[in-house]
Amino acid sequence: MERLQKILAACGVASRRGSEKLILEGRVKVNGNIAQLGQSARLGVDLITVDDTKLDEKNEHVYLMLNKPCGYLTTKRDERGRNTVMELVAGVSVNVFPVGRLDKDTEGLLLFTNDGDFANIVMHPSFNKKKTYEVEVSGDVCDAVHLMKEPVKIDDYTVHAQKAELIKITADGGVMQITVIEGRNRQIRKMCSVCGVSVKSLKRISVGDLELGNLKPGKWRYLTKKEVFSFG
């Protein structure tokens, strides 16, 4: 017997956190009954369905990276019919899910997999996987770079940049590289706002030791074994 969210993640439905959300939304059933969060089941013995579709046995693990363009939601489906990142990886032969999120107006490196344990390692802050962003801002960028290195209060929690560097000065602001570990919702944008600058463009350029490189916007590629192993 295993927890449902672990089974769903192992089968490539979503990350464990995403699987918990599916269960809470009532989209998961076990033997015809709507599942409850915390419930356990046996894959191959119990009939497990998601959106009334039978759960498949675990596929071979797949790992890939996408250079996400602006204008796409990081979700597997959108009830309002908006563009999602799944359209950009439609050529992948197995069912994968996005690891973490980039908001609609953020571009750059986005990972996909059907390996729930890998997704947890990438996303959970306890594993200290750094994420680096290139952000163009308007305002006093020099002061912002300094403030980013100090604890910053956002909503009801405190964060700080692991690293903040000024890349160049522009007519109305500049470009920074900011590295964080927490990866909270819209964290970079909120940090910039608190530090007195406005985001003009935002791109994630690396996760852990994996760099976006010269992958073109809207394109994806499989990770090498070495790249997968670099996440531990």
Task: List residues with catalytic annotation.
Answer: 103
Q: Which two tokens stand for residue 62?
A: 């797949």
Specify the amino acid at residue 110: L
Question: Phi and psi dihedrals of 142, rounded to 5?
Answer: -65, -45
Candidates 209, 191, 86, 201; CA nearest to 148 is 191
Instruction: Identify the burial level of 194 via C-beta atoms within 10 angstroms of its C-beta, where 0-12 means exposed, 13-18 middle and 19 or more buried.
Output: middle
Query: What residue has token string 């956190």?
Result: 17
Number of Cβ within a 10 Å radius of residue 139: 18
3-class DSSP assignment, residue 36: coil
